[in-house]
Chain A
Amino acid sequence: MESKSSEFLARSSEAMRDEHLQSVLNKLRAGLEYKRKAAILKIPNFEELKEHARAVKDHTLANLDHYLEEFESSVIESGGHVHWARTSADLNRIALEICQKAGALRVTKSKSMIAEETGLNTVLEEAGIEVTETDLGEYIIQLAEEPPSHIIGPAIHKTKQQVIDLFKNHHDLGERELESVKSIVDEARKVLRDKFCNADVGITGANFLVAETGRIGLVTNEGNGDLTATLPRVHIAVASIEKVVPTPEDASALLRVLVPSATGQPITSYVSFFGGPRKQGDPDGPEEFHVILLDNNRTDMLAGEFRDMLRCIRCATCLNHCPVYTSVGGHAYGWVYPGPMGSVLTPLMTGMGKAHLLPNACSSCGRCEEVCPMGVPLPDMLRQLRTIEREQGLTPAGWRWGLTAFMKLLQHPRIYHLGARWTTAALKRMGKKRGSIASIPVGSGWTKVRELPSPEGRTFQDLWRQKNRKGASGNE
């Protein structure tokens, strides 16, 4: 997908003014944070489970060459095919070739962030193939012609009314009215059943690639992935190389931390492992099974200082806990992955040039790292990316000068304290009557939407010095 990350500032301001979006984000903040916490409180040894999951992934990454080759030979052994794609364009080309060889006119898809990353739908559609997203959230944004705004709830930015309006425009509803969530879901069920049953090729993502068995793991609540992997003649799974785990038991170990972190459930309705074409005597299942493995700069990440990011299992809990994401939503970030994990991945995958602003969309509060089930040091990596931004001279001039001036000031404590004392005194005088200040010369961005409370007394440093003097005299 094309990146619009360079427009982060304009897009985030717009998002802050969007009342619909703000109402949904408030709901998200209150809902998912609480659900995750409640789920984790029920698991007494969650920390231990996290540590194990992390160790599994670290071992796999350190031996990724071995497990990728094992996965490949297991898939081949069970009658499937493995394809290697270095870039997004490679993946799209390979998938299109498979579809064309199968004479496919209709494709159903279950949710895949990799297909979002490569922009697969556009390529298939341009070749005249009908592509239908079957995850309800993905289906909604496909109708709206928008990218996902959250990596597990792609349409969370849509209100119920907006979904009803979309269905009215795209479905033949006749006299029927949609009102409740149930009526919307029933309508989608009816329309998508047709698609499932008439598709030639089904494309799914993969939460896990199991090296030992050559199976892909799918974690869903809807069951759309299972129908996509079972009913069409051909099943294609698209996945990035770091999704490999050695054994099915390792997939289960990751699942124990993935689902509570993602949705606050102990487990999703469906956790499924698929691989190979239908076996002799099987009444259903595809005739062909393909896996396309995507690199897209991940080998570079593996080699460098951002390897820890490859532990990420896409639970999205860092998005749900980020004060920036929950204020501006996913579209502001301008590409496929938003929030803290997206602000690390986007520059590494699309280049610093377009995406260098994203690592600045961070208040350094550290919540993302605190809740991450895989212990990914997101704040450190965001800081490192900001350092790279500065080294490459990409930091906007105003920020660079401002930060340089601030650094100089901090290196001279006497001047800093003097300045702080003067500023405090000046602000105190400015806000004397009202107790707050409506506008200040260099802080108009801040005071445009709120007032600055005026300082009440002396600076902290002054008070500290005074206290120490008193303490010292008290000891005498």
Chain B
Amino acid sequence: MNEQDVRKQDREKILGGVRSAVRKDPGHLASVEDLAKYWKSRPSAPRPPVGDDLVETFSSRIQEFASTVVRLDSLEAVPRYIAEYAGTGEDENITLVTGEDPRLENLPWDTAPEIRREVRKAERTDNIGLSQAFCAVAESGSIVLLSGKADPTSNDFLVDRHIILLAEDDIVPYHEDAWKRIREAGSSMPRAVNFISGPSSTGDVDLTLQVGVHGPRTLHVVIVPSNPS
């Protein structure tokens, strides 16, 4: 028997074992039609309350753990704000890594000449990265980021300080709403969907919470009224 046959056999043995284990279960739905009927009539999941003001709920929940949030009145103010936030006060250039995101491209970067923007995938030595949130979830204070050209996954995990731009209209109440938006956004799922709710942290030494283990040491969310067009 060749290797492929053995593998097929192992698959069949596991699935066969599962089939005979569940066949007589009262909850087992044998036909595709029965399953479809189940999914049609399945009640939606209960959810914890989030309140009416989604921006407020999101901001307070993500700040419960080590993240910081600022609200700006306009998109135009973003580059200047980032220069102030990321600058050391001295007359130095600030390198800012971003993905190939057309929404970020259109910001008035000329208002912050000290920022040197590098549009690429982040490397291990990069200090500051900027991403535009796909959406955010108020329920748990989570930012949703999708992999791809506009925001390579490396940019969310390799930089020391991660800044995320978020439009107010992109804050949804629940995780289910975020999944709905992701399904509607493309024909297929991106390789990575990341719900980010704080900087990288660990409790593995002495049961003490320490921020900044493998990923970003700080997470800063900049909330603007609406999306860059």
Chain A residues at the B interface, C-beta cutoff of 8 Å? 24, 27-28, 31, 43-46, 48-49, 51-52, 58-59, 61-66, 68-69, 78, 83-86, 90, 134-137, 140, 153-156, 158-160, 163, 181-182, 184-186, 188-189, 192-193, 196-197, 213, 215, 221-224, 226-227, 229-231, 241, 247-249, 252-253, 255-256, 263, 265-279, 281-285, 293, 295, 299-300, 302-303, 307
Q: Is B49 engaged at the interface, CB distance under 8 Å to the other chain? A: yes
Contact A134–B210 (Cβ < 8 Å): no
Selected contact of A222 from candidates B120, B188, B202, CB within 8 Å: B202
Given A45-B48, A213-B189, A274-B192: A279 and B14 interface contact (C-beta under 8 Å): no
Question: Which of B18, B141, B179, B210 contacts A252, CB < 8 Å?
Answer: B179
B142 and A267 contacting across the interface, CB-CB below 8 Å: yes
What separation, in Å, do the CA atoms of A184 and B49 have in the docked complex? 39
Query: Which residues of A lie under 8 Å from residue B59 when comparing CB positions?
Result: none
* Cβ contact within 8 Å between B11 and A276: no
> Considering the chains assembled together, what is the distance between the CA atoms of A221 and B210 in angstroms?
10
The answer to whether A189 and B205 touch across the interface, beta carbons within 8 angstroms, is no
- B207 — which chain A residues lie within 8 A by C-beta? 24, 27-28, 31, 153, 156
* Residue in B35, B148, B174, B206 whose beta carbon sits within 8 Å of that of A282 in the complex: B148
> Which of B21-29, B69-77, B109-117 sits within the interface?
B21-29
Q: Which residue of A lies closest to B123 (CB)?
A: A197
Are B214 and A62 neighbours in the complex by a CB distance under 8 Å? no
Chain A residues, CB < 8 A from B45: 52, 249, 252-253
- Within B147-199, the residues touching A (CB, 8 Å) are 147-149, 152-154, 156-158, 174-176, 179, 182, 188-199
B40 at the interface (CB under 8 A from A): no
Say yes or no: A271 contacts B213, CB within 8 Å.
no
Q: Is the CB of A295 within 8 A of B199?
A: no
Q: A65-B18, A226-B157, A300-B17 are in contact. List 4 more A-B contacts (CB 8 A).
A: A153-B204, A163-B205, A227-B157, A270-B215
Asked if B208 is at the interface of the complex by the 8 Å CB criterion, the answer is yes
B153 contact set on A, CB distance < 8 A: 226, 230, 284-285
Which residue of the partner chain A has the closest CB to B32?
A: A66
Q: Is the CB of B202 within 8 A of A86?
A: no
Q: Is B56 an interface residue (CB 8 A)?
A: no
Contact present for A285 and B197 (CB under 8 Å): no
Known: A222-B214, A253-B45, A282-B191. A230 touches B157 (CB 8 A): yes
B→A interface (CB under 8 Å) = 7, 10-11, 13-15, 17-22, 25-29, 35, 38, 45-46, 48-49, 61, 64-65, 99, 120-121, 124, 140-142, 147-149, 152-154, 156-158, 174-176, 179, 182, 188-208, 210, 212-216
B194 engages A272 (CB within 8 Å): yes
Chain A residues near B157: list those with CB within 8 A: 223, 226-227, 230
A residues in contact with B11, CB < 8 Å: 84
* Cβ-neighbour of A84 out of B14, B38, B194 (below 8 A): B14
Interface residue from B14, B175, B205, B206 paired with A241 (Cβ < 8 Å): B14
- B195-A276 in contact (CB<8A): no
Contact B191 A86 (CB under 8 A): no
Chain A residue with Cβ nearest B25? A62
Residue of A65, A134, A213, A285 with most chain B CB atoms under a 10 A cut-off: A65
B22 in contact with A63 (CB, 8 Å): yes
A180 to chain B, nearest CB (A): 9
Main secondary structure of the interface of B (DSSP, over half): loop
Of B49, B208, B212, the most chain A CB neighbours within 10 A belong to: B208
| Cβ-neighbour of A66 out of B35, B195, B214 (below 8 A) | B35
List the A side residues contacting B140 at CB < 8 Å.
266-267
In the complex, which residues of chain A have a beta carbon less than 8 angstroms from the beta carbon of B158? Answer: 227
Whole-angstrom distance between the alpha carbons of A135 and B196 in the complex?
18
In angstroms, Cα B140 to Cα A434, docked, is 59
A267/B141 in contact, CB under 8 A: yes
Q: Distance in Å from the Cβ of A256 to the closest Cβ of chain B?
A: 7
B192 touches A273 (CB 8 A): yes
Which residue from chain A places its CB closest to the CB of B46 in the assembled complex? Answer: A48
Alpha-carbon gap, A221 to B206, bound state (A): 16
Chain A hits for B15, CB < 8 A: 65, 68-69, 84
Are A64 and B18 CB-contacts (below 8 A) given A48-B46, A282-B148? yes
Provide the bound-state CA to CA distance between A239 and B61, in Å.
31
Q: Chain A residues with Cβ under 8 A from B149's Cβ?
A: 281-283
Most central of B20, B121, B188, B206 by chain A CB within 10 Å: B206
* A224 vs chain B, min Cβ distance (A): 5
Q: Are A269 and B201 in contact (CB under 8 A)?
A: yes
Cα(A134)–Cα(B213), bound, Å: 10
**Contact in complex: A299, B17 (CB < 8 Å):** yes
In contact, B204 and A155 (Cβ under 8 angstroms):
yes
Give the chain B neighbours of A281 by CB distance below 8 A: 148-149
Report how far A153 CA is from B202 CA in the complex, Å: 10
Which residues of B are found within 8 Å of A65, using beta-carbon distances? 15, 18-19, 22
- Listed by A's residue number, 6 A-B pairs whose Cβ atoms lie within 8 Å are A84-B10, A181-B208, A189-B214, A256-B48, A273-B193, A281-B149
Complex Cα distance, B160 from A189, in Å, reads: 11
B17, A295: Cβ atoms closer than 8 Å: yes
Contact yes or no, B154 A269, CB < 8 A: no
- Residues of chain B within 8 A (CB-CB) of A247 are 179
Q: Which of B18, B190, B215 contacts A223 (CB 8 A)?
A: B215
Q: In the complex the two chains form, is A270's CB within 8 Å of B195's CB? A: yes
CB atoms of A45 and B176 under 8 A apart: no
Chain A residues whose CB sits within 8 angstroms of the CB of B27 once the complex forms: 58-59, 62-63
B14 CB contact (under 8 Å) in A45, A188, A263, A295: A295
A250 to nearest B CB, angstroms?
A: 8
